[in-house]
Amino acid sequence: MPLEEVYVPQMGEGLQEVVIIKLHKKPGDVVKRDEPFYTMETDKASLEVESPYDGVLREWLAEEGAVLPIGAPIARIEVLATATVTSSPLSQPSETERQQPPTVTIPPRTRAYCKEHGISEEEMRRIPTPTGKLLPEHVDAYLQAKQLQPSAQTRNISLEDDYVDRPLSVRQRTFIHRLLRSQQTVVPASARRVVEWGRIRRFVDRLRAEEELSENPAEKALKPTAFQTFAYCVAQALKEHPRFRSTLISEATLREYRHANLGIAVALPEGELVTAVVPRADTLSFTDFLRVAQERIERARGGEDQAAETTHFLLSYLGPYDILDATPVLVAPAVGVLFIGSAYTLEEKQVANISLTFDHRIVQGVDAALFLQTVARNVEAIEEIVL
């Protein structure tokens, strides 16, 4: 039976690299054409890629968490002699496009640049380029992606070494990939202000006291926190500011979503960071918002990263850690991330600093200021917007 390499397919215009999220088969497993083979994440979504062949998987050429350029080989399959190959419904392109490294034009200056970096002719032709013409900046992006390839295994500590190299988890490598991708696309800017946290705290204390007296078990189980209540204020503000639930789909087109998916950063004990996502957060009542947010946060604490879902806006809360201020890092495709610091006393009021980082390609400074004003207004009117 012939041994065929499987290549990372081109899933969209301008796509240059993907991160491998999950491998669904083990070497030696029988694979069937068009069944799920592996899951990869692009800058738009998480996608299942199907096997192009009937046969036996002989070798994976990348592991979970690896960042690969488009056209890179990912697996070798021993193909059944009687197998016929057709394009899977997901990938769309022809088999020639799917299984062969893309053909590109390589100008002399790019060829010289590649030679300076020790890149062979064969490897040059596998470097992804959105235009069909390989330029030095495409080579730089490719080399940067290669640097993220994980080491094979942890090095053991020896008598001569006072350190140990540890492999990063799939979650951490995925997070690094998202950060680097955002650095290449987002133009960050920031704005900050103070909100009256005491209003939130008094409202939550009153709600909890009322719930203790309630005979409804569902109400007693909710136990809202100050942060969750503040998150609801943000979700309501997103209704009035469509730029914060938008994304650029090209240099000439802005896509505005009718509703907002709200992401919440959740820290894990291992020092990793995952995202809980509240879908259509702006459409939920206060009670429904609390239920969904608490359920999603609990799943995230169990290690489930929901960032593959479309996330329009992010929240980062360090209130319990005595951190008054910070400038959060925006992770695409979200258009904004809001940091909430620890509460403190200012002029006899309990307040908290909030700091917004936003994508300046989509949101201007005045829009950011107006959004923060709306959040602060919702905090001050928390009883009206909830009750």
Q: For residue 84, name the pLDDT band (cuts at 50, 70, 90).
A: very low
Domain with CATH 3.30.559.10 in the chain: 187-386
Q: What is the pLDDT of residue 166?
A: 80
The burial of 248, by beta-carbon neighbours within 10 Å (0-12 exposed, 13-18 middle, 19 or more buried), is given as middle
Taking the alpha carbons at both ends of the chain, their separation in whole angstroms is: 69
Q: What is the pLDDT of residue 175?
A: 83
- Give dist(CA 28, CA 194) in Å, integer: 59
347-357 residue pLDDT tens: 999 999 999 99
Angle at 149 between CA 299 and CA 90, to 5 degrees: 65
Is 187-386 a domain of CATH 3.30.559.10? yes
Is 1-100 a domain of CATH 2.40.50.100? yes
Determine phi and psi for 277, rounding to 5 degrees: -120, 125
Between 7 and 131, residue with greater pLDDT: 7
Average pLDDT over residues 260-281: 91
Q: In 3D, which of 307, 256, 260, 336 has the Cα closest to residue 42?
A: 307
When the pLDDT of each residue in the chain is averaged and rounded to a whole number, the result is 84
Q: For residue 150, name the pLDDT band (cuts at 50, 70, 90).
A: low
Q: For residue 105, name the pLDDT band (cuts at 50, 70, 90).
A: confident
217-262 residue pLDDT tens: 666 677 899 999 999 999 999 999 999 999 988 889 999 999 999 9
Domain with CATH 2.40.50.100 in the chain: 1-100
- Give dist(CA 87, CA 216) in Å, integer: 55
172-192 residue pLDDT tens: 888 888 888 888 889 999 999
Q: For residue 92, name the pLDDT band (cuts at 50, 70, 90).
A: very low
Q: What is the pLDDT of residue 98?
A: 44
Q: What is the pLDDT of residue 97?
A: 44
Q: What is the pLDDT of residue 182?
A: 84
Between 28 and 219, residue with greater pLDDT: 28
Which residues lie across from 75 on neighbouring strands? 6, 60
Q: In 3D, which of 379, 352, 369, 373 has the Cα closest to residue 191?
A: 369
- Give dist(CA 204, CA 228) in Å, integer: 10
**Sign of the CA dihedral with 168 first, then 174, 179, and 184 last:** positive
Q: What is the strand order of the sheet 73-79 is part of?
A: 3-7, 73-79, 55-60, 30-31
Q: What is the pLDDT of residue 91?
A: 45
Q: For residue 140, name the pLDDT band (cuts at 50, 70, 90).
A: confident
- With beta carbons less than 8 A apart as the criterion, state whether 171 and 303 touch: yes
Q: For residue 308, name the pLDDT band (cuts at 50, 70, 90).
A: low
pLDDT at 72 over 90: no
Domain with CATH 4.10.320.10 in the chain: 103-149
- Give dist(CA 88, CA 125) in Å, integer: 24
DSSP character for 156?
A: P
Question: What size, in residues, is the chain?
Answer: 387
Between 356 and 135, residue with greater pLDDT: 356
Q: What is the pLDDT of residue 85?
A: 46
* Listed ranges 89-98, 163-172, 228-237; the one with the highest mean pLDDT: 228-237
312-348 residue pLDDT tens: 999 999 999 999 999 999 998 899 999 999 999 999 9
- Give dist(CA 287, CA 259) in Å, integer: 18
Between 382 and 167, residue with greater pLDDT: 382
- Lowest mean pLDDT, pick from 17-31, 71-85, 251-265: 71-85
Q: What is the pLDDT of residue 44?
A: 63
- Give dist(CA 157, CA 146) in Å, integer: 26
The pTM for the full model equals 0.65
Q: In 3D, which of 230, 208, 204 has the Cα closest to residue 219?
A: 208
Helix (H) or strand (E) holding 57: strand 55-60
> What CATH number does the domain located at 103-149 have?
4.10.320.10
Helices assigned H by DSSP within the chain: 95-99, 108-116, 121-124, 136-147, 170-185, 197-213, 217-222, 226-240, 286-301, 365-380, 382-386
